[in-house]
């Protein structure tokens, strides 16, 4: 018998072990749900899958009685728009700040301390300020996401810039490259896959800020909806919404990973140097 640290699962066992916790959770849920519904058919805490299906059917495939909209899709579209805008703004600003502080010591000296302090401010504590300054509309939510993740992206890109071997910069200079040529031709392309990595890592925080902002002041959105129906203990709607948010997050992550492999084959194949 090999030591435990040397035992690795084969492909089939690997898959099985991976699926096992999901299956167990599902079983526990179904058992608990049936038990409670048997005692009280009006129980709201652990709805059955039929009830959840009905709730989603109502939200996604039947027009709302009040507005005539398909609320599930409206919520999804507005949430994804806010998230995409916020993350895109953060990515652009973060990339610029990161590459400039990482590559130019003069700019690093000027901006690094500020960036460190700003990254320590809890973004949610700024939310009231954002609501006061930008109003309760779309802008304040997008700004919250952008402010929340820009410092992380900027500091990550700064570190990645500093990690690029100095030999490459020296080599470019011996070929006559100017500062801007080095930034644009040597550093920027090598940082793009790192930027995608940083965005993937910061999406979790992005969702957090999105849902927090929607919960507090909004008229649509996935976060708005689950906080709205909380008043009626509508677990039959909240649970599918949470699952849907999780699925969206998962798909976004996969899409970004695919994009990175597709656009930067030299990075994906281990060509880091």
Structure tokens at 54: 């009905």
Minimum CB separation of residue 159 from another protein in Å reads 18
Minimum CB separation of residue 181 from another protein in Å reads 3
Other beta carbons less than 10 A from residue 250's beta carbon: 10
Q: Distance from first CA to last CA of the chain, Å, rounded? A: 41
Which positions from 36 through 55 interact with another protein, judged by CB under 8 A? none
Which positions from 175 through 214 interact with another protein, judged by CB under 8 A? 175-178, 180-182, 184-186, 189-190
Minimum CB separation of residue 92 from another protein in Å reads 18
CB 98 within 8 A of CB 197: no
Structure tokens at 167: 């030999």
Q: Pick from 48, 58, 173, 201: which binds another protein (CB under 8 A)?
A: 173
17: helix, coil or strand? Answer: helix
Of the CA atoms within 13 Å of residue 173, those in its CB half-sphere come to 6
Is 171 among the residues that bind another protein (CB under 8 A)?
A: yes
Is 170 among the residues that bind another protein (CB under 8 A)?
A: yes
CB 221 within 8 A of CB 214: yes
Maximum Cα interatomic distance, the chain, rounded to a whole number of Å: 80
Is 95 among the residues that bind another protein (CB under 8 A)?
A: no
Q: Which stretch binds another protein (CB under 8 A): 42-50, 98-106, 124-132, 260-268?
A: 260-268
Minimum CB separation of residue 191 from another protein in Å reads 10
DSSP code at position 5: G
Q: Pick from 89, 107, 124, 172: which binds another protein (CB under 8 A)?
A: 172
Note the residues at the interface with another protein (CB under 8 A).
165-168, 170-178, 180-182, 184-186, 189-190, 264-267, 269-273
């Amino acid at each position: 018998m090999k030591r435990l640290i040397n035992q690795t699962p084969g492909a089939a066992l690997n898959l099985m072990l991976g699926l096992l916790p999901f299956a167990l959770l599902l079983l526990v849920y179904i058992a608990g749900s049936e038990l409670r519904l048997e005692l009280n058919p009006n129980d709201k805490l652990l709805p059955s899958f039929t009830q959840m299906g009905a709730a989603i059917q109502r939200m996604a495939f039947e027009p709302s009685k009040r507005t005539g909209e398909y609320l599930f899709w409206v919520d999804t579209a507005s949430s994804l728009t806010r998230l995409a805008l916020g993350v895109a703004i953060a990515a652009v600003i973060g990339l610029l700040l990161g590459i400039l502080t990482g590559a130019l010591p003069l700019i690093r000296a000027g901006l690094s301390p500020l960036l460190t302090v700003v990254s320590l401010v809890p973004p949610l504590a700024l939310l009231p300020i954002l609501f006061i300054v930008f109003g309760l509309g779309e802008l304040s939510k997008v700004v919250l996401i952008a402010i929340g993740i820009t410092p992380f992206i900027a500091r990550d890109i700064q570190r990645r810039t500093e990690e690029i071997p100095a030999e490459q910069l020296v080599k470019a200079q011996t070929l006559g490259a100017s500062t801007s040529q080095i930034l644009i031709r040597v550093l920027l392309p090598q940082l793009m896959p790192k930027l995608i990595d940083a965005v993937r890592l910061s999406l979790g925080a992005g969702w957090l800020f999105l849902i927090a902002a929607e919960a507090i002041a909004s008229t649509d959105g996935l976060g708005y909806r689950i906080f709205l129906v909380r008043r009626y203990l509508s677990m039959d709607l909240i649970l599918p919404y949470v699952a849907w948010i999780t699925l969206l997050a998962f798909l976004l992550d996969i899409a970004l990973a695919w994009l990175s492999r597709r656009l930067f084959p030299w990075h994906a194949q281990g060509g880091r140097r």
